Chains A and B, each alone.
Chain A
Amino acid sequence: MKSKKTALAQGFIRCHDCGCLSKQSDKNSHCRLCGGHLHRRLPNSFQRSAALLLSAFCLYIPANIFPIMTVTRLGVGEPHTIIGGIIALINGNMVPIAILVLVASILVPLLKLLGIGLLLLNVHYRWQVHAKKWTILYRIIAFVGRWSMLDIFMISILVSLVDMGSVAQVIAGPAATAFAAVVVLTMFAAKNFDPRLIWDNQR
């Protein structure tokens, strides 16, 4: 009953870009308003999203194990991992900022990895769920994604500012690349996920 109300069930395809509806029977595969490709749903949404998510999972491990930056003071180098940086902030009595970094660089990536994983499982096994709540989960994931870049930007500022030779220097570590890749891959995974698939599976 529910599925009858969708545009697709009535024979219309919505353009992903401009929102213009086209008849499904039209031979034309391009939107008549903006010229974009017409697809019933995002093409290969599940496969693309899952592939990107798996790569992000793999890179999440080096991102947390390896040092994200090395702080050198008077010749003594001190490597920091992401968690190490947060602990250093707590020890320096900067708890609010420590919480901010904890949320942006640990909780948000974890939420994204697990959340997209759950959304994909939901779509693959056609769980009968409260679809509205799952759509809200999708929206939260899509919204928070970019905020994990906080750590990367902070490192880019520290690296450029603290560069006094042997006196004091900040050098970015290998985890920075891995972490940046996790952020970008999960953003793409969220972008490739089509929330309409959740609704399509509900009976």
Chain B
Amino acid sequence: MNPTNLSACPECDLLLKPSSPVVGDKAHCPRCGYLLQRPRKQSVERTFALSIAGLILMFPANLMPLVGIKMLGGAKDGTLWSGVVALFEEHLWGVSALVFLSSILFPLLNIILSLLISAHLYFNRPNRHLAHWMRWLQHMDEWAMLEVYMLGIIVACVKLSSTSELKFGFGLYAFVALLIITGMLASSLDKVLFWRQIGQLRT
């Protein structure tokens, strides 16, 4: 048997004949129900476009104030970075590093890697690092936590709303847009298709 004609389920190791689902269909593992593939229309093109949009939005979302408060005469603006700095100044280095990684660095790397990979696939340019990038992207996926951060903003705002006056900055709108873009990016990136194309580019 030739292993290239077969595949296996990542969660139960069932040997499978690769199905080629059409756009709009989902391929599930018949034994454990794992979602094997969910093809998307123009996966490479959309990933390319969305990662450019995401990269642009990274700047206002990171640099402009998300939320500002007014409290007993004092006023203060908060950005993604100021949260990291505040924790660092209180000597909570571990927490500060974790917040930096999961809210700034990994989302950024995620978008950059998606951009690099989809650009190479779109223009049919082979690159010996493609497989490495794709592997990093897969491992980094769950450590980029913008949507959890958004929930954190909401809870913090509710907690502050009774004692102080809140104002939402332009950065927050950019952040919400970035959140939507990264969500669409994750769903448009068809990993099975990407790996297949990376394999084809190499040969």
Q: Which A residues have a C-beta under 8 Å from some C-beta of B?
A: 5-10, 12, 14, 16-23, 33-36, 89, 92, 94, 97, 100-101, 104, 131-132, 135-136, 138-139, 142, 145-147, 149-164, 167-168, 171-172, 176-177, 180-181, 184, 187, 191, 195-196, 198-200
Contacts and interface: CB of A to CB of B under 8 A. Distances in A.
15 contacts: A14-B8, A33-B202, A100-B151, A131-B12, A136-B33, A139-B11, A142-B142, A147-B148, A149-B102, A153-B149, A157-B78, A163-B76, A167-B74, A172-B92, A196-B12
Contact of A33 (B78, B84, B96, B199): B199
Contacts of A135: 11-12, 32-34
Majority DSSP secondary structure for residues of A touching B? helix
Contacts of B56: none
Contacts, number: 207
Contacts of B33: 132, 135-136
Q: Which residue of A136, A161, A191 has the most chain B CB atoms within 10 A of its CB atom?
A: A161
B61 interface: no
B23 interface: no
A89 B195 CA distance: 47
Interface string B146-157: 001101111110
Contact of B159 (A138, A158, A160, A196): A158
Nearest to B68: A161
Contacts of A152: 95, 98-99, 152
Contact of A34 (B67, B69, B195): B195
B15 interface: yes
Given A160-B85, A167-B74, A172-B90, A149 B145 contact: yes
Given A12-B6, A131-B32, 16 more contacts: A6-B12, A20-B3, A33-B198, A33-B202, A145-B142, A146-B143, A147-B151, A149-B102, A151-B152, A156-B87, A156-B152, A160-B85, A163-B76, A164-B72, A172-B87, A181-B94
Contact of A154 (B134, B155, B162): B155
A177 B156 CA distance: 19
Contacts of B138: 17
A158 B160 contact: yes
A177 B94 contact: yes
A16 B160 CA distance: 45
